[in-house]
Amino acid sequence: MSFTSDIKMELCKLENKKLCCMKAECYGIWLFSKCFSLKASAFVTENGLVARKMAELSAAAAGAQPETSFVMSRRKKPAYRVTLPEEESRRGLLSAFGHTGEETSLRVHWENLKGPCCVQAFLRGSFLACGTVTDPQKEYHLEFSVP
């Protein structure tokens, strides 16, 4: 287990106390996932808790029904693929965050973040989607690999 996956597992255990934060975390995960558009929405992770968190947040925050399947990651490791197979589901999730899904690139819609609580939740979601961090006992490094 890497330090990053330990941190992600810890973050997945945090409960959002407010709906605004639940939506913000969901937004962070999807916005920084592999693809988030009307044509296709998918996210691949080797971490089962992250996959489950994403599915739960999508359902709770926007009523979307994601599907989870088993795949091989780019690093040839067993992974989970979370997708929104129904166009209606993709449209619903995108419009819940003020996007049409037809934009050439997605920019953060700040109005989805109601306050500091939501900014934290959004960063948590973003980190779950594309973040890595090294053990601060060894060195300091935090990275977001944005698709």
Binding site for Zn ion (CB under 5 A): 18, 20-21, 117-118
Burial of 9 (0-12, 13-18, 19+ CB in 10 A): middle
What amino acid is encoded at 62 in this protein? Answer: A
Between 42 and 123, name the residue whose CB sits nearer to Zn ion.
123
Task: Tell how strand 142-144 and strand 131-133 pair up.
Answer: antiparallel
Between 39 and 116, name the residue whose CB sits nearer to Zn ion.
116
Report the nearest approach of Zn ion to the CB of residue 19 (Å): 8
Between 22 and 84, name the residue whose CB sits nearer to Zn ion.
22
Report the nearest approach of Zn ion to the CB of residue 52 (Å): 21
**Tokens (6 digits) for 15:** 């409960």
Q: φ, ψ for residue 41 (rounded to 5)?
A: -135, 120
Whole-angstrom Cα distance, residue 117 to residue 128?
A: 17
Report the nearest approach of Zn ion to the CB of residue 57 (Å): 13
Report the nearest approach of Zn ion to the CB of residue 17 (Å): 8
Between 28 and 66, name the residue whose CB sits nearer to Zn ion.
28
